[in-house]
Structure 1
Amino acid sequence: MSLTVDRLLRIPALGLRRIVDIPAAHDISIDWVSSSDLADPTPFLARHQVLLTTGSQFLTESEERRPLINGTRTGLALITDYESFVQRLVSVGVAALGYGTEVLRPDIPAGLVQACETHGLTLFEVPYRTAFIAVIRAAADALAAAAGERQAWAMNAQRAISFAALRPNPQREIFVELARLLHRPVFLFSAPGPALSRFGPPLDPPAIVTAEAAALLDRGQRAATTIQTPAGTVSLQTVGRREDLRAVLAIVGPAPDPAEQSVITNVVALTGLALEQGRGLRRGRRALRSGALEALLDQRPSLTRLVLQHIHEALPPEPVRVAVWHPGHGAGNPLLRELDERAQTAPGWCFFATRGREIIALLPAEDAGARIAELGTARGLAGGLSDPLGYANLSEGIDQARRALAEDPHSPGVTAFADIGGQGITELLFTDAVRERAHELLAPLHAHDEAHGTELIAALTSWLEHNGQWDPAARELGIHRHTLRARIMLIEKLTDTPLDTMSARTNYWLALRA
């Protein structure tokens, strides 16, 4: 419990008496108590300090040398510039002023009382029997006790947060515990979206807080900030690694003290650790989904359902529509996270997997378009959508979605296969013999990608789709144009085919389409 003006004045042993009571100042926390009789002590004071004085700064030099009679100087004419003195104290944030009586005069000057009332400064009397050092020592003891209490609170709070991390659904439990410990509303804005989770006292976040959280997530850098809102001060802090922020934590109320900040920092660290562990789990889940997709393409839906059952997911009911996205370097991560969350929280809402650089999702045919519209991160990506079909025709569905995507591979939004009029002229060329020849042409590139972990197929695809332009293709791939140039030169070497003619480029573009 911090030392406030009210608690200091209530310490019985000191016998302090309120002269000017400012109710709004009762809960001001005191950082220290100082004593000074300087005419202007403000250069040596700081906010939230209490000043003790005997009033000698209000006397002339000749008056200070007059003899004491019964402990009081007689015939004194006090300087009456109390107004400017009190103004200076208020300007630096002094919390209260204590006047020691019976040292220079038996009572507090009326002008000083009036100035404190005018400027809203708490004024109290320090009786002659109470030494200033006794007030300072009492304050120091109270401050030390308060610091010890805050340290003990922080240790107990850290323990409570650690126990919360061991419960089921630890991420939620950690924030529930944090809101309970702070007695404040806590918001968690999770990417993408951002999706809002509320903890603690019921309160809707002001719009400015939601906008600031979205801006922090879009910026993609770790940061902390404080903003003023109609609901009060709100402190925001990002959660997650740079370029992979997962959430923004927002806490309503005054800026946290050091003890509270240590607990908040621990929560952010624990959440970050949980997210890192979740990253490995997500990678494992995505690998299982990729295998489940291959089993589904191999006409083994029962095996796919068994695999998904073990990770608490499910296939959507037939008929389904296939959606395919082929995002640039890193652009698919938010979409993958959102699909991941949907698949886990609502089994059967969708099934998705990655295949090379493609993201393939299966959604119930009746409302596939509406569900894709719910995926906020999909709006900025180009995608293709197949006609309704059963799992037995999944290969055809993927082919339809790819062909729909190929019609407009650079414009955001999903193109439906039905909207492109079915087969184009190029699709009529794709016989089994053509597909076999395409596999032969691209086999050296596939072999090199598998053996060396390169992405030659992706580089060739992007480069051809951008009409051999280096800069836009490199930007889509997330690499330097010189790196892309080196990959194309390697492709020419592996295939023994220069790609500087229209016929050669068309040949490989058709092979990729086939």
Structure 2
Amino acid sequence: MAITLAALVRSLQADLVPYPAGRDVPATPITAVHMSELPDPRQYLEGGELLLTTGLSAVPTVAWFRAFFARLQEAEIAGLALGLGPRFADVPPGFAKAAAAVELPLFIVPVQTPFLTISRRYWQMSAVPGRRQIADALAGHRALIEAATEPNAESAVIRRLAAGVGGWAAHLSPEGALLSVQPAAARSHARQLRDEVARLAVAGVHAAATLPVDDQVVVLHPLADRAGRTGHVAGYIAVGSTETLHPEQRHLVLAGVAVLGAQLNHRRQLAVARSSARAPVLQLLLGDQREAARALAGLVAPAVLDGTHRPAVLTGTDLAFLTEALAADNRCELAWDDGRTLRVLLAGDATSQWLGELVHARPTVSAAIGTAVGWDYLAAAYELLAARAGRAEPGTVAELGVSDGSLLAHLEPAVLTAWARRCLEPILQYERADLVPALVAYLRHSGGWEPAARELGVHRHTLRHRVRRAEELLGVDLDSVDVTAELWLALRALVRA
């Protein structure tokens, strides 16, 4: 906040007196208090100063005074104070008239007042707003740190930023979708930023923007993923106000970007750790260890055993970022990246459009997503989706109508055969008895021992022994309709039924 001539005169009272006495003092801002006895001090002035002089170099003539004040007018100083005593006991004739001619405010510094008193008071007054600004800035930064420790840190940080700029603040996704805004009345402003986010996305984490939105001045900053080491954007912070932000407010916004970015990255690290702990569920499931996968899922991800979920497969050379992004999203239940293929299990309400927004920005990645399926059909679903993702155009997502009733109808013969062989491998390699025909007959007759035994020409006890042995080798429960349905489909795929 600039110190004015009027404020300085009020503060100094008898130490700085307007001339002539009683004259109104203008509220002209002062940039500095400068002392000079030079007849031409222009090269040492920048404009806006209150110039202090005793007139030691003055020649008391009208012409000299006029030329002197003309030079001061050119220098655009705020005012001139004449110190009485060393050179003049009073204002010399023609001095005040020359000052008035150029409309320069004139002051008197009494004999007993050192110039140091004037300059010291000016700098003391200048320091007060500075100290206040520092205190306000520290309070704002302290509030941000406290907000980061609250249970809902994201909303708390956004709320503190809105208060700090005297306007509103919002958190946007990497695609520009509105995630949170404070206050809620600013929602319409924040939703207009999606197009601007699309333009900034080209420059990545190194671009920020200031733009008008309605009657607001909006500042948009990217949130760098993993402190910017990957160069990916984890989201955006937008703040808006009816006035341009001053430097302290801009510093507060930058601090908010750092705090929220750290919060999001910490949350992402926790999500990635959680996802890593769950990844073995998919590894076991795809390795034909379904019972072990089910047992582990019951411990680390019990929700995947209930209801239906959408399987998806992503292939390409830029999977690391997508693995972390998906792991950090609540819509992703399981994720396993083997370096070449990323298999994920998504919540039933996940959409191909949402997955497409992630894949679209990665031109080396293609994906396929299926409709929701039950646990027992996931292994086959991943077979289909992996084959389809490999044929999809880079940067696109293929959506397949894969459901419990139509899953295997979509599989290509080679993929279907490979899946069936993995399902039946334990009994295909069993040499001491022909378990496959026994299982086929048993399933064809819906568990009827007598008709199945007659078809094979064996005693029902022999058939029962072979079926139970197949059940043990496969590690399944043939009383489960889901299990018998999948086994029947696998057997038919191998043209054994």
Unaligned runs of 5+ in 1: 67-72, 114-122, 344-348, 438-514
In the alignment, structure 1 residue 149 sits paired with structure 2 residue 132: yes
In the alignment, structure 1 residue 404 sits paired with structure 2 residue 396: no
Contact 2:383 2:415 in 1 (8 A): no
- Give the drift of 1:394: 0.9
Secondary structure (helix, strand or coil) at the match of 1:168 reads coil
Task: Pick closer, same or farther for the CA change 1:38–1:216 going to 2, 3 Å.
Answer: farther
In the alignment, structure 1 residue 422 sits paired with structure 2 residue 410: yes
Tell me which residue corresponds to 2:321. Answer: 333
Contact 1:157 1:263 in 2 (8 A): yes
Contact 1:171 1:271 in 2 (8 A): yes
Q: Report 1:329-368 matches (<5 A).
A: 329-330=318-319, 333-334=321-322, 336-337=324-325, 339-343=326-330, 349-357=331-339, 358-363=341-346
- Whole-Å separation in 2 of the counterparts to 1:431 and 1:65: 108
Task: Pick closer, same or farther for the CA change 1:177–1:8 going to 2, 3 Å.
Answer: farther
- Whole-Å separation in 2 of the counterparts to 1:107 and 1:217: 64
2:32 is matched by which residue type in structure 1? W
Deviations 1:277-332 (A, max 9, x none): 334312211113313445666256575365236xxxx44974444221113235x5
- Give the drift of 1:139: 1.0
Secondary structure (helix, strand or coil) at the match of 1:404 reads helix
Secondary structure (helix, strand or coil) at the match of 1:127 reads strand
In the alignment, structure 1 residue 281 sits paired with structure 2 residue 266: no
Tell me which residue corresponds to 1:52. Answer: 51
Secondary structure (helix, strand or coil) at the match of 1:167 reads coil
- Whole-Å separation in 2 of the counterparts to 1:145 and 1:43: 30
Tell me which residue corresponds to 1:33. Answer: 33
Deviations 1:3-47 (A, max 9, x none): 43264454253556685847xx7xx6x653224576775543447
- Whole-Å separation in 2 of the counterparts to 1:218 and 1:160: 33
Match of 1:126 among 104, 107, 122: 107
Match of 2:59 among 58, 65, 76: 65
- Give the drift of 1:428: 5.9
Match of 1:246 among 234, 245, 260: 234
Secondary structure (helix, strand or coil) at the match of 1:191 reads coil
Tell me which residue corresponds to 2:153. Answer: 170
In the alignment, structure 1 residue 111 sits paired with structure 2 residue 69: no
Secondary structure (helix, strand or coil) at the match of 2:418 reads coil
Task: Pick closer, same or farther for the CA change 1:288–1:317 going to 2, 3 Å.
Answer: same
Tell me which residue corresponds to 1:509. Answer: none
- Whole-Å separation in 1 of the counterparts to 2:336 and 2:167: 42
Larger deviation, residues 402-411 vs 243-252: 243-252
- Give the drift of 1:85: 5.6
- Whole-Å separation in 2 of the counterparts to 1:228 and 1:284: 38
1:307 is matched by which residue type in structure 2? V
Q: Report 1:65-84 matches (<5 A).
A: 65-66=59-60, 78-79=65-66
Tell me which residue corresponds to 1:322. Answer: 311
Q: Report 1:185-196 matches (<5 A).
A: 185-193=168-176, 195=178
Contact 2:69 2:98 in 1 (8 A): no
Contact 2:369 2:397 in 1 (8 A): no
Larger deviation, residues 391-400 vs 415-424: 415-424
Deviations 1:97-137 (A, max 9, x none): 44559644246634322xxxxxxxxx644234376543321
Match of 1:394 among 378, 392, 409: 378
- Whole-Å separation in 2 of the counterparts to 1:341 and 1:398: 22
- Whole-Å separation in 2 of the counterparts to 1:12 and 1:375: 70
Secondary structure (helix, strand or coil) at the match of 1:65 reads coil
1:412 is matched by which residue type in structure 2? T
Q: Report 1:458-477 matches (<5 A).
A: none
RMSD: 4.7
In the alignment, structure 1 residue 308 sits paired with structure 2 residue 308: no
Deviations 1:84-104 (A, max 9, x none): 864653xxxx7x444559644
Secondary structure (helix, strand or coil) at the match of 2:66 reads coil
Contact 1:373 1:379 in 2 (8 A): no
Unaligned runs of 5+ in 2: 84-89, 426-497
- Give the drift of 1:352: 3.8
- Whole-Å separation in 1 of the counterparts to 2:171 and 2:419: 53
- Whole-Å separation in 1 of the counterparts to 2:101 and 2:191: 49
- Whole-Å separation in 1 of the counterparts to 2:54 and 2:392: 84
Which of 1 and 2 has greater Rg? 2
Task: Pick closer, same or farther for the CA change 1:325–1:31 going to 2, 3 Å.
Answer: farther
Tell me which residue corresponds to 1:500. Answer: none
- Whole-Å separation in 2 of the counterparts to 1:393 and 1:106: 99
2:117 is matched by which residue type in structure 1? A
Contact 2:82 2:108 in 1 (8 A): yes
- Give the drift of 1:269: 4.4
Contact 1:165 1:174 in 2 (8 A): yes
Task: Pick closer, same or farther for the CA change 1:206–1:134 going to 2, 3 Å.
Answer: farther
Contact 1:99 1:108 in 2 (8 A): no
- Whole-Å separation in 2 of the counterparts to 1:201 and 1:42: 55
- Whole-Å separation in 1 of the counterparts to 2:279 and 2:261: 27
| Count of residue pairs brought into register by the alignment | 389
Deviations 1:474-497 (A, max 9, x none): xxxxxxxxxxxxxxxxxxxxxxxx
Secondary structure (helix, strand or coil) at the match of 1:126 reads strand
1:422 is matched by which residue type in structure 2? H
Task: Pick closer, same or farther for the CA change 1:143–1:286 going to 2, 3 Å.
Answer: same
Task: Pick closer, same or farther for the CA change 1:428–1:335 going to 2, 3 Å.
Answer: closer
Contact 2:36 2:51 in 1 (8 A): yes
2:359 is matched by which residue type in structure 1? A
- Whole-Å separation in 1 of the counterparts to 2:36 and 2:218: 35
Secondary structure (helix, strand or coil) at the match of 2:301 reads helix
- Whole-Å separation in 2 of the counterparts to 1:106 and 1:159: 53
- Whole-Å separation in 1 of the counterparts to 2:419 and 2:211: 65
- Whole-Å separation in 1 of the counterparts to 2:98 and 2:169: 48
Task: Pick closer, same or farther for the CA change 1:78–1:213 going to 2, 3 Å.
Answer: farther
- Whole-Å separation in 2 of the counterparts to 1:281 and 1:147: 41
